[in-house]
Structure 1
Amino acid sequence: MGGVQDFALTQMRKAVEKLGSSAEMYEGPTLMRFLIARSMDPNKAAKMFVQWQKWRASMVPNGFISESEITVELAARKVLLQGLSQDKYPLLIVQACKHFPSKDQLQFKKYVVHLLDKTIASAVKGREIGNEKLIAVVDLKHLAYKNIDARGFITGFQFLQAYYPERLAKLYVIHMPQFFVSVWKLICRFLEKATLEKIVIVGNEEERRQFIKDVGEEVLPEEYGGRARFIAVQDAVLPPLQNGRK
């Protein structure tokens, strides 16, 4: 890392200690995500980092969310974890027509954490640990009014923004029906500028071809123009030695 980054990291570590916590266990790439998310301001990054530590301790006290805690959400088989994209980012696909607003908000939140943690852990070995990103696809095909869950969308995005900074490489929204546009506009009001810049609405055929090219036919299921088979998130096997990384 360059001199400016090294200086910012040192200042951030000191700021974390002033807030009564420690960043000793965490390496540069992890802390750097928080710095980037807060425009390289060490104090703001430290505050965000300590809030993340407290949130993880509360939400994920065991270090991971077990499948036994989220059985209802997993049963719908509405999320796919497909492997690595062209840019070697793990690909997460959400099939919204299989989703229904949750009656158990805590379980839904744990489900979101489980999805994000497992997707990040599936990143290819050899990439810079702590700096892994993911690609997400939200498929709105066959969406009905009963599937609409603005609160669920907002929860997912807020978790990404507050607790998974700089993890999202790109998010594609495909097959958006006209009746969902107003809902999407509402959701976007909760998104930071940096998040909005990573979202691509795939509409016409040219955009669809570009989407397939950018993600890669090898990892996209046939339904989306690729050559892969569907892999539900609970069926995806993680590479060895991927759990518990910082």
Structure 2
Amino acid sequence: MEKSPELALTQMRKSVEKLGFSTENYGDPTLMRFLIARSMDIEKAAKMFVQWLKWRSSIVPNGFIAESEVPDQLEARKVFLQERLAKMYALHMPRFFVSVWKMVCRFLDKATQEKIVIVTNEDEKKCFVEEVGEEAVPIEYGGKAKLTPIQDVQVPPLEG
């Protein structure tokens, strides 16, 4: 039986407390990213969260850090900057890209593969429009949004 998100969050908070740390300053969305990153395994998510807290306190002692100061270490990013992408759609991709993607995606875990949709047919396009919402999808992709191409945007001059 699959756990509800609320129950998983409650159990994760208790697990973090057992490890001697607090989740008091962190909301459900932050904790849920750790749970998702560890396939809803409460103990693994709690341990990852505690590691992240330790890393964050060592690297961000004042509670904030400029993006340029974040170390560019792939492993640190992989471990500590978890689960931000819910779903990504790629539209109008060349056939070459689709072929290469089919080979590359085999090396990704299943959860990541399911987040990335290369829209190649009308059923996938319909699903894309339904999930994103017609109001947000440009007309040329099957939605109702009228967007101005970036090259046509008029920016007023700065005053002062």
Q: TM-score range by the shorter chain?
A: 0.5 to 0.7
1:203/1:4 CA distance change after superposition, 3 Å: closer
Matched, 1:44 2:56: no
Residue 10 of structure 2: aligned partner:
6
Matched, 1:170 2:76: no
Paired residues of 1:35 and 1:42 also in contact (CA < 8 A): yes
Question: How far has the Cα of 1:182 moved from its partner?
Answer: 4.5
1:180/1:32 CA distance change after superposition, 3 Å: closer
Question: How far has the Cα of 1:5 moved from its partner?
Answer: 4.5
Amino acid at match of 1:164: Q
Count of residues in correspondence between the two structures: 138
Paired residues of 1:221 and 1:228 also in contact (CA < 8 A): yes
| Cα distance in 2 between the residues matched to 1:210 and 1:4 | 29
Using the size of structure 2 for normalisation, the TM-score is 0.60
Question: How far has the Cα of 1:44 moved from its partner?
Answer: 1.4
Amino acid at match of 1:194: A
Paired residues of 2:92 and 2:120 also in contact (CA < 8 A): yes
Q: Unaligned stretches of 5+ in structure 1? A: 70-105, 110-154, 236-246
1:2/1:219 CA distance change after superposition, 3 Å: closer
> Which structure: larger Rg?
2
Residue 229 of structure 1: aligned partner:
147
Q: Secondary structure at the match of 1:168?
A: coil
Greater relative contact order: 1 or 2 (C-alpha under 8 angstroms, separation 6 or more)?
Answer: 1
| Cα distance in 1 between the residues matched to 2:113 and 2:90 | 12
| Cα distance in 1 between the residues matched to 2:79 and 2:103 | 17
Q: Unaligned stretches of 5+ in structure 2? A: 154-160
Using the size of structure 1 for normalisation, the TM-score is 0.43
Question: How far has the Cα of 1:58 moved from its partner?
Answer: 4.7
Paired residues of 2:38 and 2:45 also in contact (CA < 8 A): yes
Ranges of 4+ aligned residues in structure 1 off by more than 6 Å: none
Paired residues of 2:87 and 2:115 also in contact (CA < 8 A): yes
| Cα distance in 1 between the residues matched to 2:106 and 2:82 | 19
| Cα distance in 1 between the residues matched to 2:24 and 2:134 | 41
Question: How far has the Cα of 1:196 moved from its partner?
Answer: 1.4
Question: How far has the Cα of 1:208 moved from its partner?
Answer: 1.8
Matched, 1:34 2:38: no
The structure that is helix-richer by fraction is 2
What root-mean-square deviation, in Å, do the aligned CA atoms of Structure 1 and Structure 2 show?
A: 3.9
| Cα distance in 2 between the residues matched to 1:57 and 1:195 | 29
1:53-72 map, 5 Å: 53=53, 54=55, 58=59, 62-63=64-65, 65=67
The structure that is strand-richer by fraction is 1
